[in-house]
Amino acid sequence: MSKNYFEIKRAGINTTFQDRGRNNLYHIGIPFSGAMDDRNFKISNKLVGNEINFPVIEFAYQGPCLKYFGDNINFAITGDVKFVIKKNDKIIEGNCYQSFTLQNEDKLDIISTNKSVYGYLAISGEFNLEYQWSSCSTNTKANIGANKGKKIEVSQKLYISKINKDLSDKKLNYINTRIENIRVIKGTNFDYFSEEGKNIFFEKEFVVSKLSDRMGMRLEGPKIENIIDTNIKSEGLIKGVIQVPADGNPIIMLSDHGTIGGYPKIGVVISADYDKLVQMTPGSKIKFKEVELDSAETLFKLYELETQNLISQI
């Protein structure tokens, strides 16, 4: 075993290894998984001098507290996160989008995310991880991916197989913006809903429920009435699909979603708004805005250009 490792003093609420996810497995029932917020995932890697799709630690709400043992290593945290570094008796306030150096026996305490859900911890090097279908992404439902497909737990040791030679400081000026409007394309069962239901969907506010996780985001608000059938013959799903079951409350499919489902699809969140969507905390208000396919494609191009531009500034 490597002499460089983290010991987990507190695991946090939902701490897992994630990378860019795995493809070509929906037909056997395995979802894409991968980092929920793709932009923040990529930026975290660039800030420590890694390739942008390296596996990182994703945490939700309360993050882990880790004690480091080994040679000097850099780390960076992205998202909207409060964290501190403890060196002997000194406590240093951390800033997101900036690399820091950890020395032997330093502690990194990722206290919590601020008004957002997910944050990312990248290290200047490689964790010692198993790959499944060329990805480390942990899918805790099917127990697939790094850490035997499980969340990171207290007292566990996370070994580091390689530390980068370049430990220069890196920084990016970036602030996560929050949005209320999520843009969607009409779904394949849009006509299953009453005129009133359709109007409610595009005009009223919904609230993100506590029953949201990496699989899906449940919403509460005015009920959307179905006038055809509250079930369809089960068929494939993709991330961003908004299903409305019989109770009239929408559910948005997120990265670990079941691969098939039998509820009517009222809409699909556009790719450009996915990273922002997943960061909405329970209690946040959402309004859906309709866009056409060609605008959605243009908006995604712009979003990608902006991400590339941010990465190239580091």
Partner 1 sequence: MIKNISNLGDAALYCDFGNEVNKEINSKVIRYFKSIQKQNIDGINNLTPSYNKLIISFDLRKKNFQDIKKLIENLDIINEDKIKSNKIKIPVCCDENFCLDINRLEEKLKITRDKIYEKFFGKEFFCYMTGFIAGMPFLGDLDNELRAKRLETPRVKVPKGSVGLTEQFANIYTFESPGGWNIIGNTPIIIFDSSKENNPNLVNPGDEVIFEQITRDQYNNYNE
Q: Name the site residues for partner 1 (rule: CB under 8 A).
A: 23-30, 32, 132-133, 141-144, 149, 185, 187-188, 233-238, 240-241, 258-261, 265, 268-271, 293, 296-297, 300, 304
Which of 160, 296 has the CB closer to partner 1? 296
CB of 154 to partner 1, least distance (A): 23
Going 173 to 175 to 176 to 180, the CA torsion angle's sign is negative
How far is Cα 155 from Cα 8, in angstroms, rounded to an integer?
5
Which of 142, 179 has the CB closer to partner 1? 142
Which of 119, 261 has the CB closer to partner 1? 261
List C-alpha distances in Å: 150 to 11, 32, 138, 145, 278.
12, 16, 7, 8, 21
CB of 77 to partner 1, least distance (A): 26
Encoded tokens for 164: 């980068």
Task: Report residue 158 CA to chain centroid gap.
Answer: 21
Which of 129, 185 has the CB closer to partner 1? 185
CB of 22 to partner 1, least distance (A): 10
Q: How many other CB atoms are there within 10 angstroms of residue 259's CB atom?
A: 17
CB of 29 to partner 1, least distance (A): 4
Which of 62, 188 has the CB closer to partner 1? 188
CB of 109 to partner 1, least distance (A): 34
CB of 259 to partner 1, least distance (A): 4
Q: Contact 263/172 with Cβ under 8 angstroms?
A: no
How far is Cα 98 from Cα 85, in angstroms, rounded to an integer?
13
Which of 62, 230 has the CB closer to partner 1? 230
Which of 82, 141 has the CB closer to partner 1? 141
Phi, psi for residue 300 in degrees, rounded to 5: -70, -40
| 149 exposure class (CB count in 10 Å sphere: 0-12, 13-18, 19+) | middle
Identity (one letter) of the amino acid at 135?
S
CB of 135 to partner 1, least distance (A): 11
With residue 243 as reference, give the H or E element that holds it: strand 241-243
List C-alpha distances in Å: 287 to 188, 200, 212, 251, 290.
20, 10, 17, 14, 10
CB of 35 to partner 1, least distance (A): 16
Q: How many other CB atoms are there within 10 angstroms of residue 294's CB atom?
A: 8
Which of 121, 253 has the CB closer to partner 1? 253
Q: Contact 152/121 with Cβ under 8 angstroms?
A: no
